[in-house]
Amino acid sequence: MSTLVQQSCAPRGLRGLAVLVTGAASGIGRATAERCWQDGATVAALDLDLRSLGETMQRLEALDAGRYIALEADVADPIQVRSALADLARSLDALYGVVNVAGIGGYTGDVAETTLEQWGRSLAVNLSGAFHVCREALALLRAGGRGRIVNVSSQYGLLGGAGSPAYCAAKAGMIGLTKAMAVDHADEGILVNCVCPGPIDTAMLAASGRSGERSKRESRRTATRLLLGRPGRPDDVAGVIAFLLGPDARNMTGAVVAVDGGWSAS
């Protein structure tokens, strides 16, 4: 019996609640969607296209299609996000959680080497994407009378990394967005927190190690800073996100939580 099936018998803290997860087709987003589902939530999984959500859908739908909704949107496009959230509002009366995971990596060189297109796309997906999703999701969160938002930043939101000024700027911006929203929405009972993963074993990390000499040097530098000696797993991050969505995080808002194997401490 798979872990997913065993755990489905005992839903935990999110039973009866709905959680939207972006970037749910892969890596940290997929692990988060699965973890929220295991914890009893109805999961609205959003990604660039429904085809790419196929594997996540198969894993959850086969067990309980009623607790799974697939949504297609490019988070960088406010019109697509509005349309996806309007679809969601036709299926749900209220939303409890929003987890902004969708993101793109990639080394673009220093600021002189980074093209305007690379700068714009990184900011649009990695920062504006969360803004668009939160903006459209707020009405559904308010309808529930309380809620949680978890934004996925990065260790590169806390510290600099080689050859990635756009990514670092966007991920630092995600921390600022988190804190600003924490201030604005605390009195509505909507708590907003942020996680900063370090290197996590996903398609994005694998791709970053293949994109040229500078990225290989950065991967080696990064590896030496991992106090726990290895990249994390997607479910390491999903577990912390589940905690921030759950009852034990009721006194946390505006927090920035590193999930980086000690990377930012070294």
Contacting positions for ligand NAP (CB under 6 A): 22-23, 25-29, 47-48, 52, 74-76, 101-105, 125, 129, 152, 154, 197, 199-200, 202-205
Pairing verdict, β 18-22 and 42-47: parallel
Is 167 in the active site? yes
User: What's the 3-state SS for 185-205?
Assistant: HHHHCEEEEEEEECCECCHHH
Task: Look up residue 90 and give its amino acid.
Answer: R
Residue 161: closest CA among 196, 120, 115, 125: 196
Residue 2 corresponds to which tokens in the numbers above?
């798979």
State which residue, 42 or 154, has the beta carbon closest to ligand NAP: 154
Residue type, 54: G
Q: How many CB atoms lie within 10 A of CB 27?
A: 23
Q: CB nearer to ligand NAP: give 23 or 40.
A: 23
Crossing angle for the helix pair 234-245 and 27-38, nearest 10 degrees? 50
User: Between β-strands 256-259 and 18-22, what pairing exists: parallel, antiparallel or unpaired?
Assistant: unpaired
Token pair in block for residue 19 = 């959680």
Of the pair 120, 145, the CB lying nearest ligand NAP is at: 120
Nearer to ligand NAP, 138 or 152 (CB): 152
**Is-contact 130 174, C-beta < 8 A?**
yes
Residues that are catalytic:
167
